[in-house]
Chain A
Amino acid sequence: MSWIKDIVDPQARQWEEFYRNRFQHDKIVRSTHGVNCTGSCSWQVHVKDGIVVWETQQLDYPLLESSLPPYEPRGCQRGISFSWYLYSPVRIKYPLIRGVLLDAYREEKQKANGDPMLAWANLQANKEKRKSYQKARGKGGFRRTSWDEVNEIMSIANIYTAKKHGPDRVIGFSPIPAMSMLSYASGQRFLQLFGGVNLSFYDWYCDLPPSFPEIWGEQTDVAESADWYNAKMVVDIGANLNMTRTPDAHFFAESRHNGTKTVVCAPDFSMVSKFADQWVPLHAGSDGAFWMAITHVLLKEFYVDKQVPYFIDYLKKYSDTPFLVKIEKDGSAHKAGKLLRANELEEFKDIENGDWKFIQIDDKSGSFVVPKGSVGHRWDKQETGKWNTKLENSIDNKEYDPKLTIIDKKDDVLLVSLDEFGLDNKALRGVPVKYVTTTSGEKVAVTTTFDLLLAQYGVGRGLEGAYPKDYSDKNAAYTPAWQEIFTGVDAKTIINIAREWGNTGEITEGKCMVIVGAGINQWYHQNLMYRAASMALIFVGAIGKNGGGMNHYVGQEKLAPVDSWGTIATGKDWGGATRLQQGPLWHYMHTDQYRYDGLTSKYNAVPDNEMTKNHMADDIFKSVRMGWMPHYPQFKTNTLDLSKEAIKSGAKDDKAITQYVLESLKNKKLEYSIADPDAEENFPRVWYIWRGNAIGGSMKGQEYALRHYLGTDDSIIAQDQTRTKEVKWHEKAPTGKMDLIIDLNFRMDSSALYSDIVLPSASWYEKADINSTDMHSFIHPLSEAVPPCWESKTDWEIFSNIAKHTSEVAKTHLPGVHKDIYTSALAHDSEDEIAQTDMKDWYKGECEAIPGKTMHKISVVERDYTKIYEKFITLGETARTAGVGAHGNKVDIKEQYDEMLESYHYPTETIDGKKYPSLKKDVSAINAILHLSSLTNGKLSVQAYENAEKKTGLVLADIAAGQKDVHYNYANLQESPKRYNMSPVWSGLMEEGRAYSAFTYNVEKMVPWRTLTGRQHTYLDHDMYFGFGEHLPTYKPSPKPEVFGDLTETMKTNTAKVLSCLTPHGKWHIHSTYMDNPRMLSLSRGKEPCWISEADAKEMNIHDNDWVEVINDNGIYATRAVVSSRIPKGVCIVYHTIERTLGAPISQERKGKRTGGNNSITRVRLKPNLLAGGYGQFTYHMNYWGPVAVNRDAHVIIKKMTEVII
């Protein structure tokens, strides 16, 4: 073996120091990445010679239960490539401003003798100059400038806008606070102290699953990934765990070796499919049909053919299925109506909040029961402590047994008309009813929700009507054979999976899990798909169980210490009112995408009635005046002027001012901005973007934004569609609405490229911040491994400086105390949940206009623009008096606030002789959040549960007993990962290392869900839901391209093959971040390509790596083709998000235009019924409720490029 050289001699091996030297480093700092990946991974950032050289994962997570695999290591290929950005050529090192704007401003300033305010006013008044710098947006010509100069321009623009148009024309967009809570809070705190507007993001990104508020009254609450391991059967739909939950996917892989069955539904052979026992390639977007059929089999075999005690017991306790629902006459047949209200029965007619309490039947006595725990009990004032789901009659506190079905005690069987939208059929099916006499003397038929559901799912029990013959009945919803039409999956597969699902649920008491992601949530009918899957979980008792649940992972929405953070982020500590805008409808209106949309009933299968004939824009206008949805700007009139007008007309106090505003609205003298969004007075004017790619990655209908917001080039060929009726229609839509766009960034992304001012911000290894996720139960710090590079500053410092300059400018240009009129929508987790029993429109005189009841709320807020900075850097006293809270829970923090004033360890600021806790430094603000949250301060955890006891009448404080001494500060988080406390703000129980699983608190402690009945809702009885046919779980088909309208103009000149364009989350980027770094570019194909099937490629004569244009009416982008056998025919996949900045060629199709990103082919389309408000869980809260900006139904044509000019 002469050739093998085993060398031991160290002398001969001294050269080995070559590599040893490279590995030596000076320190390791704990940080993470703020990138909305949901990872929240703890990293070791290695620093050598003062330079960040590389990162590897931390390995010191505490272990959870001994039966669970450890969390370590967490981190992925993207996170580990981050350090490139710090010193990269794409780094923003200095403040930048577009030369055209700077020149014009300087010129005006010179003309105005150095007066910046006059200069800005004149520049805005000069239409030509304004247009010329708008036209230059996105076209290069940046100049390095100074912090002084940009601070001057920004602060002048702020005050100018507040004075001229109103503060609610200054807008901020920053997404996903959980990824860097303090950075998010910086801009929001400034804007809310200013009276500006923050746009929502979770719904705008289409990450919000409206089915969660629909069913559970919850924004989103899911299991941490360790709990996947507890599941015994998992169906993964549209969540490509390997790619998108990379640090967590091992739990899924590992669970299989513990005997867990896995099924993956995805149209392509996605990466997670390799872990499946069964891969089910459903047609893209047909998952709803799959789940409806699964539930059909479950109901038949586990509820009718046999009865499973665990399932029945679960339904009785935790679902709305035993509640009575009215069956109403409808022509010759009947239809499902509203839930029977307690006050409709003589015996309960006088109880408090009787409109908001509901009825069940006691199986033993047969008498009516008003169960505890309904929303009415939540807001009862006379008799409290009955908001719980114990099986007790709220009238006499006696136990009862809910009657699930009345089939054995029925008075009659009525034929109820049920819509099936896939085949567009109406079926009449027999439903057992009982007759009751209501207070109005009417004889009303009622049934249980359970009985109604069986009819809806087509599970006959010998009842008359059009029930399916058997599983093979193709014509009847929702049989396994019926779903074949939509999914392409054999009925045998459905029956097989449903039986395994039911058996597993029965044996394990609910360890059946759905893991779901953006692949499903971004379809137009996502709420229905999610509801369909959720029903299959509820019917096997899998919600609120470890190893069970509807686990939706789309967006890093879980900000653990939300109670104290919310107060600091929104400036509520200074008593202000918050202008938090529902993003999707705002962009839909202000980018003028509504003009290109027309009637939603063209592509949304709906029943034929008056409600479904409206234009979405008109529905939005209605939702705003009804108080369902917020909209800013509020009025055509500047809200600061409006109060002056009121005072001038004689209003002496705030109440009178409010009255004046109400009267002006009633007599229509005061116009809503939403009624005329294209009028100049109603434009949004100044836009701050930070921590997000608002113009790039997240701008659905990007080309519309370029046209209507920015006033620069676009490649739209879509035309105006159906006109609005109530919203004023302008013959020509305005372009270039925005005066000034500011982007804070560490890299030149698409948003920075199109902004007027780009501010260099510190990256995630250069600042202090905190980060949490729903994937695990720890809070992680971001830390300063090196100080902010070049001239960059932390977001906290940047907005603090903007506040300072703005306050300075106000001393001259907007001094004194101003009264700002503030309108807001009816709010979730408040008494507003019981505001509207019906949809009467005061604006049309159908009812009286009562703020907070039949319409939005109106109030008066005082603003002193000279004091914004002082407020920004201190924690205001309102926090002390009002406490902090979230999700309907409150804690008193007087003791903790005073401690911050008295203890040497907390810095303070003295303003006008009064001492306040200081928030001046980022670390001080973080420590304030941690000190004041029930998640990180054990005393407050205990207090929060004690407060919950009062409302519920339950024993809960013992949950927190063991956490009382837990008290974290920022330095503690830097030492090692810390698991946060249990708090009623969240719904999972985590004692003794138990994995967090949503709603275990509700199930085990009998705490109601925040819904109408306090139970999980299978049935949604809002009028909007009846109107749009979504009151019962149902299936609506994906719209075909001809009706969706993405290709109307394109197909006039083209004959190419139409493909469904899917944009799931990709492997080499987190949204747009990381994709531009050479590491990810090298490991991918140097660009995010367009994946097509081998068959389609052949048909279109496209070869692997050819350049192609992806085209529709909304716009265009160009990329390389990837031909792959794992892509199904008829579909193309472009993993979002494509930046416009990397090698995008000039378009051949839209000649001379620069091709865009994947958002260039999308357009916002909204679902009207998601506007509903003032009604239980259908009540607004930012990022909780409202229409979401879907993008998955897009269709395109693909053309090979013959000439590529970059």
Chain B
Amino acid sequence: MDVRSQMSMVFHLDKCLGCHTCTVACKNIWTDRKGAEYMWWNNVETKPGTGYPTKWEDQEIYKGGWEKSGSGIELRGAGKRKGLLNIFHNPNLPVIDDYYEPFTYKYLDLIESPLQDVQPVARPVSLITGKPIDIKMGPNWDDDLSGTPDFARKDPNLKNLSPAEQEAMFQLEKMALYYLPRICNHCLNPACVASCPSGAIYKRGEDGVVLIDQTKCRAWRMCVTACPYKKTYYNWSTGKSEKCLLCFPRIEAGIAPACMHSCVGRIRYLGVMLYDADMIEKAASSDDKDLINSHLNIYLDPHDPKVIAAAKANGVADSTIAAAQASPIYKFVKEWKIALPLHAEFRTLPNLFYVPPLLPVMASVSEQEKSSTPQLNPIAKNWDDKWLYDTSLDSIFGTIDDLRMPLKYMANMFSAGNEDLIADKLKKLMAIRIYRRHKTVGDISAEKSATALRNVNLTEAQAEAIYNLTSLAKFEERFVIPAAHREQAIEMIESTADVKGSTGFGFLAKPARGL
């Protein structure tokens, strides 16, 4: 048992507002500069939709992640082996059209325009060429089902759904949408690390954060291809690739990453997971149907004395073990089992887990008999459609079977196609609502409430705990950040007695350009 600690995350999609505050928080601090304009280390996607870069989930196009090869696995696209053969030509890289050409407007024209015959306007210009641009794509182009025919209807997750099932997802009575916020998964089996010919990408030993060394990166861009989540980006100005840092300078200071700090939906949770590094290879190589289980098995019970002893033996600090024991991630993923990884089939063993969303119940539509409709007031607007929409229900919240959005679709995202696994999570969320309704209103009987909990193997105490962490949790319960012990890191380089007085002095030199 090789026990290590890993910063992990849960995003509670049922609570996500789709507001993108996380995105901007990240952008403002990290990627608001030349060459980084198109980088969105954190982004939020509308589902159904094709995301950013467009269709990133389709590895037929991008060849990201791992694939099974015999008893083991190998990188689907640019590996060190495949990559070196192809080092000057990487055919699977997303191109600018898969992202978008970053743009701004020529605002100064409004202030400096001479007197004209018509009102001056600011024109859009490319941030790459500086020339006028016809905006055709953006990092969030299909937000809220924008451009449904060209995007949502081409979502790679629609695979296995019949044409009729797909069509239903865009009809009044069955349509819905939800949001998928994404950052780097800081995977246990990161394809980016494996793919880098320069050895510039590594996982930090103390917290598992995956970083690209800006002094070592040589712009091979193999990581861009290898990451199936498309969360590494090439900076065309510095010639280095960059990616989400999990805000390590903030974590080291004991504060939550910017995207999590700023999450107004309060959907994000961050905490330590202890895991057994010896189990990684086997888990990543397991059969499709066992993938999720074997992935989740890597994470260890932080209360288990054996785990604690092994962790200590590996140099994991007591403060980290204590943080792992209080980790909200452990609760959601392991104890309550209501969060799942995104696209486990990419086999990178991601450390970001999602609680799937409840959605409105389906309705039915019948034709209104207009012939029997009385004559309207001559002033009145007459809607010439004929539908009559019925969303009435037998029980107050409906049931999981009534929900909009096919389970098959969600299963393609979160459970490598296993619908039962998704249904299980949604049933748990619903059971907790039923239980709390019973407690707070009482129009659902004690018996019904108990049955609902029993059916999903939850005790009342667990239901209360899930409810508390879902709805009432305070900041410090959502983000349990272990001490960084920076003093120990510094001690390995210089005398800590000198550090306090010399910290921050020095000249900042830009790292040399990569290419």
Contact = CB atoms under 8 A, between A and B. Distances in A.
Nearest to A1104: B147
A1206 B120 contact: no
Contact of A278 (B391, B429, B490): B391
B17 A246 contact: yes
A138 B119 contact: yes
Interface string A228-265: 01001000000000110011011001111111110010
A504 B441 contact: yes
A403 B261 CA distance: 56
Interface stretch (A297-305, A416-424, A986-994): A416-424
Contacts of A748: 107, 110-111
Contacts of A474: 372-374
Given A24-B504, A250-B266, A1082-B138, A485 B376 contact: yes
Contact of A258 (B113, B132, B368, B467): B467
A283 interface: yes
B159 interface: no
B124 A1086 contact: yes
Closest 7 CB pairs of A and B: A141-B115, A259-B437, A1037-B380, A8-B205, A3-B194, A140-B113, A490-B390
Interface in B352-368: 357-361, 363, 366, 368
A139 B124 contact: no
Interface string B139-150: 111011111111
A91 to B, nearest CB: 9
B391 A1082 contact: no
Contact of A269 (B14, B140, B175, B250): B175
A75 interface: yes
B118 A1083 contact: no
B143 A1154 contact: no
Interface stretch (B24-32, B321-329, B413-421): B24-32
Given A77-B21, A90-B110, A1083-B20, A1126 B145 contact: yes
B30 A22 contact: yes
A27 interface: no
B281 interface: yes
B497 interface: no
Interface string A1110-1147: 00000000000011111011100000000011111010
Interface residues of B, number: 155
A23 B250 contact: yes
21 contacts: A15-B215, A54-B29, A59-B475, A73-B266, A80-B262, A81-B28, A88-B107, A249-B264, A254-B471, A257-B467, A277-B397, A423-B375, A474-B372, A1039-B380, A1086-B135, A1094-B170, A1122-B146, A1122-B147, A1140-B119, A1143-B123, A1154-B121
A489 B389 contact: yes
B361 A277 contact: yes
Contacts of A1094: 148-149, 170
B202 A1084 contact: no
B249 A1130 contact: no
A19 interface: yes
Contact of A246 (B147, B202, B264, B438): B264
Interface in A522-581: none
Contacts of A1125: 145, 148, 152, 170-171, 175
A1083 B379 contact: no
Greatest chain B CB density within 10 A among A4, A278, A283, A1094 is at A4
Contacts of B144: 271, 1067, 1124, 1126
B490 to A, nearest CB: 7
B147 A1105 contact: yes
Contacts of B104: 1078, 1081
Contacts of A488: 368, 383, 385, 387-389
A255 B429 CA distance: 13
A83 interface: yes
A35 interface: no
A100 interface: yes
Contacts of B380: 422, 486, 605, 1037-1040
Contacts of B396: 261, 277, 500
Contact of B264 (A9, A247, A1124): A247
A1142 B177 contact: no
Interface string B96-139: 00000011110110111111111111111000000010011011
B111 to A, nearest CB: 5
B320 interface: no
B440 A259 contact: yes
Contacts of A610: none
A57 interface: yes
Interface string B212-226: 011110000000000
By secondary structure, the B interface counts as loop
B110 A1085 contact: no
Interface in B178-214: 178-179, 188-190, 193-194, 199, 201-206, 208, 211, 213-214
A1093 B120 CA distance: 32
A171 interface: no
Contacts, number: 446
A605 B147 contact: no
Contacts of B120: 139-140, 753
Given A142-B111, A492-B392, A605-B379, 5 more contacts: A89-B108, A229-B471, A254-B472, A259-B444, A264-B360
B493 A11 contact: yes
A782 B144 CA distance: 33
Nearest to B432: A257
A30 interface: no
A277 B379 contact: no
B390 A493 contact: yes
Given A75-B262, A1087-B135, A1141-B121, A56 B432 contact: no
A5 to B, nearest CB: 4
B263 interface: yes
B121 A75 contact: no
A276 B245 contact: no
B397 A261 contact: yes
B121 A1143 contact: yes
A175 interface: no
A1079 interface: yes
Interface in A1070-1110: 1076, 1078-1079, 1081-1087, 1089, 1091, 1094, 1104-1105
Given A232-B441, A259-B439, A1140-B119, A242 B17 contact: yes
B95 interface: no
Interface string B51-87: 0000000000000000000000000000010000000
Contacts of B373: 474, 485
A421 B377 contact: yes
Contact of A10 (B105, B171, B490): B490
Interface in B246-287: 247-250, 252, 258, 261-266, 277, 280-281
B21 A1123 contact: no
Contacts of A7: 202-205
B116 A80 contact: no
A99 interface: yes
Greatest chain B CB density within 10 A among A3, A80, A259, A1076 is at A259
A24 B444 CA distance: 53
Contact of A496 (B149, B357, B378, B393): B393
A484 interface: yes
A22 B389 contact: no
A1172 to B, nearest CB: 23
A496 B392 contact: yes
B118 A139 contact: yes
Given A423-B374, A1083-B139, A15 B121 contact: no
A1083 B135 CA distance: 12
Contacts of B511: 15, 18
A1153 B189 CA distance: 59
B193 to A, nearest CB: 6
A280 interface: yes
B119 A1085 contact: no
B377 A605 contact: yes
